[in-house]
């Protein structure tokens, strides 16, 4: 399980021994929002064709996010079998939160997974160590 390891000084130090699952990524976003309710929130923007939620983590000066002058959108999971994007979005979210100045004018929006249906199909390849094992991990 991934956890928010921010220190009192605001530094985020994360160690990964594997790429996070989509559920772990969503749990981490909810943990950040619970720990920093004035600067973070998680919303559901809609659903995929199969009915899976599209989660958005917003990190900004204050909630609601529309008070910020600038907005940045970061999208993970456009290619659902590229698992490194999940780890990257977790690290970037922690860095954005750790470096957020008290009077920041930018809100960061992290779409956790653009294609949760594809991520569900590709989840078997997440732990594969060989190319045949990777392709065998796809479930239809």
| 32-72 pLDDT per residue, tens | 999 999 889 999 999 999 999 999 999 987 655 456 688 99
Q: CA-to-CA distance for 62 and 40, rounded, in angstroms?
A: 8
> Domains (ranges, CATH) in the chain?
22-136 (3.40.630.10)
The predicted model scores a pTM of 0.80
Each residue's pLDDT tens digit, 81-97: 888 888 889 888 988 88
The angle formed by the CA atoms of residues 5, 107 and 69, to the nearest 5 degrees, is: 155
């Amino acid at each position: 399980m991934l956890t928010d390891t921010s220190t009192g000084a605001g530094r985020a130090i994360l160690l990964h021994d594997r790429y996070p699952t989509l559920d772990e990524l969503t749990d981490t976003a909810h943990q950040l929002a619970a720990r920093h309710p004035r600067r973070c929130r998680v919303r559901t923007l809609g659903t995929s064709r199969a009915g899976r939620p599209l989660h958005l983590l917003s990190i900004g000066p204050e909630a609601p996010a529309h008070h910020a002058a600038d907005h940045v959108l970061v999208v993970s999971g456009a290619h659902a079998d590229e698992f490194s994007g999940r780890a990257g979005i977790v690290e970037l979210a922690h860095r954005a939160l750790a470096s957020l100045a008290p009077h920041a004018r930018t809100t960061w929006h992290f779409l956790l997974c653009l294609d949760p249906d594809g991520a569900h199909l590709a989840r078997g390849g997440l732990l594969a160590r060989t190319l045949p094992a990777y392709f065998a991990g796809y479930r239809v």
